[in-house]
Amino acid sequence: MSVSQLLFSVLDAYKTALLSAFSKQLPELSLLHFRVLRQVGRGAEAETGVTPLQIAQGLQRDKAQVTRLLAELTDKAWLVKVPHPQDKRSVLLQLTPQGQVLLDQALLLEQQVSAAMTQGVSAAQQQALSEGLIKLQQNLSAI
């Protein structure tokens, strides 16, 4: 099996395992919703906030699709939009308390799936894999 085939296979298996965990314990949360909540949560941790444009860039989705997605998350009361302090034309996204609880639960599930995935893989093997994946990512970024 080639490296690219193996990479796709691992990514598919990881996504399937994560979807299974979410459907059992957090059925209201899709993987796309999770990715948005995680990005917003990281922006809050960094105390920089995150804009809808940054979400679109991080997800590699068009702005219209992200606008619809953010509307869903706002309707579910997981996110709120607040005025951007430096740019009057933009908003920053923040997690609601309900959104933060949901994100915390999802991050715990993600950790459990990752732990299951790396079971039996030594720390040295995990480090080598991380370094190899970083190199692959850098190579692709140069294209």
pTM over 0.85: yes
Quote the DSSP letter at residue 142. Answer: T
- The CATH code belonging to domain 3-141 is 1.10.10.10
Residues 6 or more apart from 90 whose CB is under 8 A from it? Answer: 51, 52, 53, 84
State the pLDDT at residue 48: 77
Angle between helices 52-59 and 31-45 (to 10 degrees): 130
Cα dihedral across residues 126, 127, 130, 132: positive or negative = negative
List average pLDDT for each run of 10 residues in the chain, which is 143 residues long. Answer: 93 96 95 95 81 93 93 96 86 95 97 96 96 94 91
Residue 84: predicted pLDDT: 86
The DSSP code sequence of 34-98 is HHHHHHHHHHHHTTS-B-HHHHHHHHT--HHHHHHHHHHHHHTTSEEEEE-SS-TT-EEEEE-HH
Q: Where are the domains of the chain?
A: 3-141
